[in-house]
Structures are given as structure tokens and as C-alpha cells.
Amino acid sequence: MRGVLVAALVALVVSLLGTPSVIRLFRRQGYGQEIREDGPSSHLTKRGTPTMGGTVIILAALAGYFVAHVVTMKGFTASGLLVLMVMTGLGVVGFLDDYIKIRKQRSLGLTARTKFAGQAAVALAFGLLAVRFKNADGLLPGSTFVSIVRDTDISIGLVGFPLLAWIIIAATSNAVNLTDGLDGLAAGTSAMVFGAYVVISFWQFGNLCEPGAGGAGCYLVRDPLDVALVAASAMGACFGFLWWNASPAKIFMGDTGSLALGGAFASIAIVSRTELLLFVLGGLFVVETLSVILQVAFFKATRKRIFNMAPIHHHFELAEWPETTVIIRFWIVSGLAVAFGLGLFYAEFLSHGGS
């Protein structure tokens, strides 16, 4: 437990105190956000706000994780390092996307094909590595069985697992990217989901199956305590960044942050055997993504729009809700989704005879 607290605190402090320096640096370099011309007119005043703040979140999360290991003198694990690999790898993809936007002074960076290729490379590398590195009990970071709150009986095999990992990681990172459209919306929501995974992973650590034996409600997962360290570090980093990203934002996370956070959620869900539970915990991200899918599909079919604008947070902005009202109400929705997801997780534990 001490390691989890250290990880969260160090990441929080690094993010909270380090972000102002990054804001000053990016302002001097002219790393300002470009704004969509077809977006809400109220966003035009945000043009020039420093972006790529996701670099702070990633560095703070890494600092929290590594300092926690130094303090606790525990060894690194395959599961924790793989999650950080995905988070950092997708952060690099997002950084390139943000940098191109800045250099070319446009709201579009990497082409869709190039961005998807970058996401695929990182996700497939994770998928291939996650079914290696058995521990002393024969457990792997990933599993070839589809999971909800734990593994089901549905096997996808060694070939299907990397493909499933790619789908989950790409879908989640793009969903967070779509949600990152208002000051503090993605950062606040992400902090809640990471907090849920701190609880889930630590609970799994306290209820691990004994080697060679079962137990009421026990979990067959590898390295849950280390996964809790990663989730705590990311949570602390998000909270520290949110101090400066809250409306009116002094810095944006950009694709650097949103792709990295989405990748972290997805990979944590995979190594904790909660792949489908993620879609409940991240319910707001699902709603944002579905709003875009429905808008595009309905417009192609009828040449009419369901929403004023997609993603759905812009719909409410154009309906004249103040930005802060949209953000706070969406945080409430996210909090309810996280609470419901944790409730499902605990109910499933009780259904297996846990107490």
C-alpha cells in the first residue's frame, strides 16, 4: 500500500509543479494549439494555448512508478512495464501528430493512415509481448481468453490475442482523443478511471489465488500490485495536470496525452483481465465515440444531423450550455459510470463466494 501512495504522490507533485515550467517553455517555442474552423466559435479564443501537455502526464507517471519502486525496493514486472510501454509509445505517436499541427499551422497533424499505423505498431508489440514472460506460477501478463471481470471460457488463441489487443487499444485511445475537447474534461475523467483501476488492481492483489489452489473469488492475474502502481501514478499525474488544464486551461494535453491515456486504460484492462469492464468504467468515452459514429452514419444516410455537432460535448455547447456546466455534468456522468463499474466488479467477486 505504501508503494501505491508514493506513486500517486510523486506523480501528483511532479505534474503539479512541473507543468508551469512546460507552459513557459512551450510558449517560448510557440507550441500553441490550432483550433478547428468548424468548431464552436467560443473556442477561437483558445488558439495559441500551449499544447502537448501530455508530455508532463507521461513523465510524471513514469517518475511516480520508478520512485515507488526505489522506495519499496521491489523489482519491476512485465505487466507494469508493458503498460508503460503502451502509454509512452502512443504518447510518441500523439506528440508527432501535435508537432506537425504546430509546424504546419493547421488543426490536422498526421494523416489518419499514419496515425492508425503508429497505434497498430504499439498495440501489436504489446499483444505479442504480453503472452510471453511467464512468472514462477506460470501466469502471463495477457490472456488468450476474453475477459469481463475475469477470464471467460471464450478463447481467441495466440493469433487472435494481438488482434484483440490492437482493437481495444486503438478504440480506447481514439475514444479519449475524441473526449479531449473541453478544458479538463479528459483529464478529470481519466483520473476517475485510473482511480477505479487502483482499487481493482489492489483488490486483486489482496485476493490472489494461492499457487496450485483456488479460493473463493480469487483472481488469476499476474502482477496486480505493480499494475496498481501504474494506475496510481497515472491518476496522480492527471490530477496534477488538471490543476492547470481546468477551465480556462493554461495548457492542453493534446494528442500526446489523450492517446497515451487511452493506451494506458486499454493495456491495464488487458493485464487485469477486465477488458469488457473497461467499457463500463469508461462509459463517458463510449458515449462520446458513439455520438460521432451515429452522427456520421445518420448524415451519410439522410444528409441530416442528429446532434448540433459531434462529439456530443460540442452539441451541448452549441445548445448554449456554458463550457464549465458541460464539463461538470460530464464528470458526473463519468463518476456514475465508474461507480457502476466498481459495483459490478465487487458483485462479481461476491458471486464467486468472496466476502
C-alpha cell at 82: 508493458
Phi and psi at 30, nearest 5°, equal 75, 30
DSSP 110: S
Contact 309, 299 (CB under 8 A): no
Helices (H), the chain: 2-29, 54-72, 78-104, 112-129, 157-179, 185-206, 224-245, 254-271, 278-281, 283-302, 312-318, 323-351
- CA-to-CA separations, 95 to 21, 190, 230, 258, 274, in angstroms, rounded: 18, 19, 21, 10, 28
Angle subtended by helix axes 254-271 and 112-129, to nearest 10: 30
101 by Cβ neighbours in 10 Å (0-12 / 13-18 / 19+) ranks as buried
**207 labelled ligand-binding:** no
**How many angstroms separate the CA atoms of 166 and 44, rounded?**
35
- CA-to-CA separations, 341 to 6, 173, 195, 280, in angstroms, rounded: 26, 19, 12, 5
Contact 334, 175 (CB under 8 A): no
**255 labelled ligand-binding:** yes
Contacts of 29 (CB under 8 A, 6+ apart): none
R_g over Cα of the chain: 20
269-294 burial: b if 16+ Cβ within 10 Å, else e? bbbbbbbebbbbbbbbbbbbbebbee
Residue ranges for the binding site? 177, 255
Residue ranges for the binding site for Mg(2+)? 177, 255
